[in-house]
Chain A
Amino acid sequence: MAEEITLLESLRRRGVSRRGFLKFCTATASLMALPPALIPRVAAALEQAKRPSVIWLSFQECTGCTESLTRSHAPTVESLIFDHISLDYHHTLQAAAGDAAEHAREEAMKQHHGKYILVVDGSIPLAENGNYSTIAGISNLEMLKECAEGAAAIVSVGTCAAYGGLPMAKPNPTGAVGVSEIIKDKPIVNVPGCPPIPTVITGVLAHFLVFGSLPELDHLGRPKVFFGQNIHDRCYRRPFYERGQFAETFDDEGARKGWCLYKLGCKGPITYNACATNKWNEGTSWPVESGHGCIGCSEPGFWDFGGLYKALSVPTGNIGSTAVAAAALGVAAGAGLAAMNRSKKQAAAKAHETMTVTDLNKET
């Protein structure tokens, strides 16, 4: 349960010095792209911030988002933040099980009504009355509605919670949808990604702690500070795109030289995320740097983009056979038309009566 101590106090108890705390505030401000002048405000806000209660609901998901989060590296922003929130309910991470776990959730909802942050990962199935996924006999839909009611804000972590993700891929048998399709009366921030970058998840929570509000969002409900930049625009391979140098296969000379992966299906041009700037695994690398094109995982419907390895400009259908069928159709119709014209011509020739001088004289 959330303790009524401040974040500063909590950090102090864990042996974090004042200097360490200010460094953390600077990193947090930098992460949120705030000007340095706001660092004191971040520090002041965090000093006073109480450990917020967080209820984490996992629905139709693969635990990748939690995996991503738990692989955050200490002592960075994300680990500090997550050491100092009160994670009152989380299937994977909590010690409690069964009834005890559900009671913890109910207790947190009651005690922090109107103040807790609801984090959701996984999509919500609507088909068959939501029976495709239940927890303790409660359908995901029911639990979401119940928990959302008393939440201060909802964070949809991962593309599944944000837009439906993999479960929503055609033909979407479970009728999966994202949180914002169901909850309309609460502030919702989408932190998509399959999985999302850990610092992005924690950055959003840090923003909430500092300012008491959600960051500025784009048209897809994503924080602009992290999703305002296009992968393609920030890609270090971009100069090769400009020069028209494309890798044709994953192991050709171009690929080895770091050429653009556009032709191998990179979805960087239509993807907005912080991978190119924040990177993964302690800033070690990111997909494009490790030789694989961006799969566009932070965009709605990315599983139905027509194949991860098809260039964005390339049609997704079975074009070869379509073209052959169209050609056959055109040739047949053209031949039909030609035959019709010919018979018309022949009929006209047959009907034609030759005029003689006598005929002409008759008319005069």
Chain B
Amino acid sequence: MSAEALLAWARGPAFEVALVIFIAGMLLRLFEILSLGYKTDLSEARGSGVQGGLRTLFSRSLPRPSILAKEPLRIINSFVMHIGLLAMIFLFGPHVAVFESLLGFGWPNLPSGVIDALSAMTLITLVVALMLRLNNPVLRFLSTPGDYWAWLVTLLPVLTGYLAYNHLLLPYTLMLALHILSVELLLISAPFSKLTHMFSFALSRWYQGYKAGHRGIES
């Protein structure tokens, strides 16, 4: 198959299949979690559960000073990685065009050069994340193949995107096809791996925050 045909396939049928699996799979997982339901809390409310839930959605996104002091590299690395990923996905011009075609509306984008720098930085943070995992005996022991898989399917789109943008290694057409295919691999994997946290993080933070808020605990 030529690079052109591969690109056409990646942008066409392959993307549709990946999108169906991603949307259906993710909704299935979210329903699965939601259907677990709350345990009825009969205690008298000492605070607002809703307020607690909303607060935690944001507060848990910030590093806890105690943990930051203990493992600054891991925390900062993780922060930079997530910010880099979000900026790359949502603020790169060609990506905004994809969302525009899906949603019917778009938003401003960052200069491509900035995204390029961010992707280089994100690549470094992903390598650091793997090294931190491998160098820590406890973490290494706790790691499952699923953890490494999640790392790989996150790395591949960033790597291929970086190489494609900079016209490195392979001709652009082939690299663009590989980039789109790697994104599709990520989409297909997301509902069935720990990458589900891209949505479920909100549910768990809300749940913890709601419970804490109900009990009047500042979380």
- Known contacts A269-B176, A311-B94, A334-B31; 14 further A-B pairs (Cβ under 8 A): A230-B172, A244-B93, A244-B109, A262-B94, A299-B4, A301-B2, A304-B8, A316-B12, A319-B15, A326-B22, A331-B27, A331-B31, A333-B31, A334-B30
Contacts A243-B112, A301-B2, A341-B35; A330 near B23 (Cβ below 8 A):
yes
A134 CA / B151 CA spacing, docked (Å): 58
B residues contacting A by CB (< 8 A) are 2, 4-5, 7-8, 11-13, 15-16, 19-32, 34-36, 93-95, 97-98, 101-102, 104, 109-115, 167, 171-173, 176, 180
Contacts A230-B167, A334-B35; A312 near B20 (Cβ below 8 A):
no
A44 CA / B30 CA spacing, docked (Å): 77
Nearest CB of B to A218, in Å = 9
Give the interface SS of chain B, mostly helix, strand, loop or mixed.
Answer: helix
Contact B28 A330 (CB under 8 A): yes
**Nearest opposing residue in chain A for B97, CB measure:** A311
A313 CA / B98 CA spacing, docked (Å): 6
A326 CA / B31 CA spacing, docked (Å): 14
Interface string of A313-343 (1 = CB under 8 A from B): 1111101101101110111011101100110
A-B contacts, 18 listed (Cβ < 8 Å): A241-B93, A244-B109, A246-B93, A263-B94, A263-B97, A300-B4, A311-B98, A312-B94, A315-B16, A315-B102, A316-B15, A319-B15, A322-B20, A330-B28, A330-B31, A333-B31, A338-B31, A338-B32
User: Per a CB cutoff under 8 Å, which of A230, A263, A316, A335 touches B8?
Assistant: A316
Residues of A within 8 A of B104 (CB): 320
**Nearest opposing residue in chain B for A270, CB measure:** B173
Nearest CB of A to B104, in Å = 8
**Nearest opposing residue in chain A for B35, CB measure:** A338
Contact B36 A341 (CB under 8 A): yes
Residues of B within 8 A of A262 (CB): 93-94, 97
**Nearest opposing residue in chain A for B13, CB measure:** A317
Q: Does A305 contact B (CB under 8 A)?
A: yes
Contact B11 A316 (CB under 8 A): yes
A residues contacting B by CB (< 8 A) are 219, 230, 232-233, 241-244, 246, 262-263, 269-270, 299-302, 304-306, 310-317, 319-320, 322-323, 325-327, 329-331, 333-335, 337-338, 341-342
Give the interface SS of chain A, mostly helix, strand, loop or mixed.
Answer: helix
User: Per a CB cutoff under 8 Å, which of B4, B26, B167 touches A233?
Assistant: B167
Residues of A within 8 A of B21 (CB): 326
Contact B176 A270 (CB under 8 A): yes
Nearest CB of A to B189, in Å = 16
3 nearest A-B residue pairs (beta carbon): A334-B31, A330-B27, A338-B35
A322 CA / B16 CA spacing, docked (Å): 7
Contacts A242-B113, A244-B110; A313 near B94 (Cβ below 8 A):
yes
User: Per a CB cutoff under 8 Å, which of B5, B35, B111 touches A242?
Assistant: B111
Residues of A within 8 A of B29 (CB): 334
Contact A334 B109 (CB under 8 A): no
**Nearest opposing residue in chain B for A327, CB measure:** B23
Residues of A within 8 A of B35 (CB): 334, 337-338, 341-342
Residues of B within 8 A of A327 (CB): 23-24, 27
